[in-house]
């Protein structure tokens, strides 16, 4: 039986700093090949069962890649449903990071009850009217438990008011952001740009065709690249300013900024996240923006049969052996092994792998 | 692209905790994020939390798929 795999993160610590960080992944990145030989319809049903951790995004990107392979375009209602499914899953993932994972790393109380509450309000299937309710519920939860004000008001804070918000010690999200500013590591090198139709064909499809193992260690034009909220938001003035001071807090701020905009996206989805590209007869690619970053599927169909299936997932970009995690830790100051371990855990959290990881420190 | 393998709940404990069977290995997990789980149910496990309850038919289908995946399907295409 195949397992979901994990990331082994080995740090070389020289007594003062992390000299190097090695990443070894046992993720079965070619497991999607189990879809090969099946009818396209069946493959589309199986995708969310196989990859149910981010099942909604996986189902959406698979459907969009199949559309592109068949040379058809989804109607507006389908496109809206897809955007909402992605936004709902992104909300769930961001709230998980914020209520469970990050508190554990920063000595704060985890709040699984609040996440369970959100999950109860988000049914797997929803019609137009239910989505409006879900958006209203999400907005209320974010107001009460994350921002201390309506998310849209938080997004509109000017610099002085934002600085005051950060000092609100009663708010766990503000407190955690302030705490992250004390850690120095993880400066980003290169971001994965927005992959449009041209980039999907000329860069991603071409790389996958030249070397199928690209999916395990993807590069953007020959270099490792970071994907995720910071890669999408780093040009926003407030985030750029935070990034100039601290990379870990900037990644959290980018996440919070996207989180605050999600209720509006649920209410009235802007067709922005899902894009497809036809790379040849029967060959479709699609990319979607998930909480963890850009998720890409490529499907080759012969008639309605899947001949080849490839997935390039965010974890493989961020945890590339020379990627954002490995390079971001190299040289980071750490007075003892525990500090080295915590820096690694905080950067791993910021880059958000979709599997468990294990940190080892070799002195 | 995270594979999510169904696991079977074999014991329930206090405080939303449970023991599951992961391919013959017993593991303690949290049920804090899902409601109404009973012994014998299949759940999807993610970093120590059950995140989804599966109906038995769906679980069987998924497990069959993982069994089929085996080892050689985890390799890069030639």
What confidence category does residue A171 fall into, taking pLDDT thresholds of 50, 70 and 90?
A: very high
Query: How high is the pLDDT of residue B73?
Result: 59
Q: Answer whether B77 sits within 8 Å of A295, measured CB to CB.
A: no
- Tell me which CATH code domain A7-362 carries: 1.10.645.10
| Residue B16 half-sphere exposure toward CB, CA atoms < 13 A | 13
Query: How high is the pLDDT of residue B72?
Result: 55
CA distance B78 to chain A (A): 8
Interface residues of chain A, partner chain B, Cβ below 8 Å = 1-5, 27-34, 46, 49-55, 58, 100, 112-113, 115-116, 119-120, 212-213, 215-216, 295, 308, 311, 313, 315, 354-356
Question: Are A355 and A23 a contacting pair, CB within 8 Å?
Answer: no
Residue B12 clears pLDDT 80, i.e. is over it: yes
Calculate ∠ Cα A222-A224-A226, nearest 5°: 140
Query: How high is the pLDDT of residue A129?
Result: 83
**Tens-place pLDDT, residues A283-309:** 999 999 999 999 999 999 999 999 999
| Residue A363 half-sphere exposure toward CB, CA atoms < 13 A | 10
Closest chain A residue to B32, measured at CA: A112
Q: Answer whether A4 sits within 8 Å of B67, measured CB to CB.
A: no
Write the CA distances from B65 to A15, A50, A51, A74, B68, integer angstroms. 47, 8, 12, 29, 5
Q: Answer whether A50 sits within 8 Å of B67, measured CB to CB.
A: no
**Tens-place pLDDT, residues A40-76:** 999 999 999 889 888 999 999 999 999 999 999 999 9
Alpha-carbon span A246 to A328, nearest angstrom: 12
From A28, A51, A115, residue closest to B4, measured CB to CB: A51
- Please identify which residue in the block is written with the tokens 């997004």: A155
CA distance B64 to chain A (A): 10
What confidence category does residue A146 fall into, taking pLDDT thresholds of 50, 70 and 90?
A: very high
Q: DSSP assignment of A11-45, as one string?
A: EEE-SSBEEEEEEEE---TTGGGGGTTSBHHHHHH
Write the CA distances from A188 to A244, A246, A254, A339, B6, integer angstroms. 11, 10, 13, 20, 36
Q: Average the pLDDT over each of A153-167, A255-269, B15-29 and give the range with the smallest value.
A: B15-29
- Residue A126's φ and ψ, nearest 5 degrees, are -150, 145
Strands A7-13 and A357-362: parallel
Q: Average the pLDDT over each of A158-162, A341-345, B49-53 and give the range with the smallest value.
A: B49-53
Residue A123 clears pLDDT 80, i.e. is over it: no
- Which has more pLDDT, B76 or A116? A116
Query: How high is the pLDDT of residue A363?
Result: 85
Calculate the average pLDDT of chain A. 94
Query: How high is the pLDDT of residue A264?
Result: 95
**Tens-place pLDDT, residues A254-264:** 999 999 999 99
Token pair recorded at residue A346? 């905080």
Query: How high is the pLDDT of residue A29?
Result: 87
- Any chain A CB within 8 A of the CB of B57? no
Residue B1 clears pLDDT 70, i.e. is over it: no
Nearest one of A252, A316, A361 to A7, comparing CA atoms: A316
Ordered by start, the domain boundaries in chain A are: 7-362
Query: How high is the pLDDT of residue B74?
Result: 60
Mean pLDDT in residue range A165-175: 93
- For residue A109, count other CB atoms closer than 10 A to its CB: 8
Residue B64 clears pLDDT 70, i.e. is over it: yes
What confidence category does residue B71 fall into, taking pLDDT thresholds of 50, 70 and 90?
A: low
| Helix residue ranges, H only, A75-192 | 76-96, 102-105, 112-120, 128-142, 151-155, 159-166, 172-180
Alpha-carbon span A177 to A251, nearest angstrom: 10
Query: How high is the pLDDT of residue A272?
Result: 73
Closest chain B residue to A61, measured at CA: B1
Which residues are bridge partners to B22 per DSSP?
A: B25
Query: How high is the pLDDT of residue A178?
Result: 95
Question: Are A20 and A9 a contacting pair, CB within 8 Å?
Answer: no
Residue A361 clears pLDDT 90, i.e. is over it: yes
Q: DSSP assignment of chain B, as one string?
A: -----EEEEEEE-STTEEEEEETTEEEEEE-TTSS---TT-EEEEETTEEEEEE-HHHHHHHHHHHHHHTTGGGS---
Nearest one of A291, A320, A32, A7 to B3, comparing CA atoms: A32
Mean pLDDT in residue range B66-71: 76
Give the domain B6-69 fold: SH3 type barrels. (2.30.30)
Mean pLDDT in residue range A116-123: 86
Strands A293-302 and A283-290: antiparallel
**Tens-place pLDDT, residues A184-217:** 999 999 999 999 999 999 999 999 999 989 999 9
Mean pLDDT in residue range B17-41: 92
Residue A1 clears pLDDT 60, i.e. is over it: no
Please report the number of interchain residue pairs, chain A to chain B, with beta-carbon separation below 8 angstroms. Answer: 106
Token pair recorded at residue A1? 């039986």
Question: Are A94 and A253 a contacting pair, CB within 8 Å?
Answer: no
Question: Are A192 and A225 a contacting pair, CB within 8 Å?
Answer: yes
Closest chain B residue to A354, measured at CA: B2
Q: How many helices (H) and strands (E) does chain A have?
A: 17, 7
From B34, B69, B76, residue closest to A34, measured CB to CB: B69
Closest chain B residue to A217, measured at CA: B76
DSSP letter at A354 equals S
Mean pLDDT in residue range A234-239: 97
């Amino acid at each position: 039986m195949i397992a979901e795999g994990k990331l082994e993160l080995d740090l070389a610590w020289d007594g003062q700093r992390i000299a190097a960080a090695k990443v070894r992944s046992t993720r079965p990145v070619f497991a999607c090949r189990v879809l090969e030989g099946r009818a396209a319809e069946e493959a589309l049903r199986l995708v969310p069962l196989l990859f149910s951790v981010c099942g909604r995004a996986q189902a959406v990107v698979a459907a969009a890649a199949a559309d592109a392979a068949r040379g058809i375009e989804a109607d507006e209602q389908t496109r809206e449903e897809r955007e909402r499914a992605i936004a709902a899953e992104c909300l769930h993932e961001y709230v998980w990071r914020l209520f469970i994972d990050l508190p554990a790393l920063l000595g704060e109380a985890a709040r699984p009850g609040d996440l369970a509450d959100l999950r109860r309000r988000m049914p797997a299937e929803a019609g137009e009217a239910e989505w409006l309710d879900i958006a209203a519920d999400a907005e209320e939860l974010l107001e009460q438990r994350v921002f201390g004000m309506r998310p849209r008001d938080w997004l509109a804070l000017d610099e002085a008011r934002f600085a005051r918000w950060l000092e609100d010690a009663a708010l766990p999200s503000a407190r955690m952001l302030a705490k992250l500013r004390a850690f120095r590591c993880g400066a980003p090198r290169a971001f994965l740009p927005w992959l449009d139709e041209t980039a999907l064909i000329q860069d991603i499809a071409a790389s996958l065709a030249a070397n199928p193992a690209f999916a395990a260690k993807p590069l953007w034009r020959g270099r490792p690249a970071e994907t995720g909220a910071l890669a999408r938001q780093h040009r926003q003035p407030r985030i750029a300013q935070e990034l100039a001071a601290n990379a870990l807090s900037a990644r959290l701020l980018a996440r919070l900024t996207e989180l605050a905009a999600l209720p509006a996206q649920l209410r009235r989805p802007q067709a922005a996240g899902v894009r497809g590209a036809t790379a040849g007869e029967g060959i479709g690619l699609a990319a979607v923006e998930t909480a963890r970053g850009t998720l890409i599927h490529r499907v080759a169909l012969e008639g309605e049969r899947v001949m080849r299936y490839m997935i390039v997932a965010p974890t493989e970009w961020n945890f590339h052996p020379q990627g954002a995690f490995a390079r971001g830790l190299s040289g980071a100051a750490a007075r003892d092994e525990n500090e080295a371990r915590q820096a690694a855990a905080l950067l791993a959290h910021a880059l958000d792998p979709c599997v468990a990881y294990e940190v080892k420190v070799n002195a | 692209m995270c594979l999510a393998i169904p696991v079977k709940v074999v014991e329930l404990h206090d405080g939303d905790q449970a023991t599951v069977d992961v391919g013959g290995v017993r593991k303690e997990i949290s049920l804090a994020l899902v409601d109404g789980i009973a012994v014998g149910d299949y759940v999807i496990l993610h970093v120590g939390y059950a995140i989804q309850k599966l109906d038995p038919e769906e679980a069987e289908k998924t497990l069959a798929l993982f069994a089929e995946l085996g080892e050689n399907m985890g390799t890069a295409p030639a």
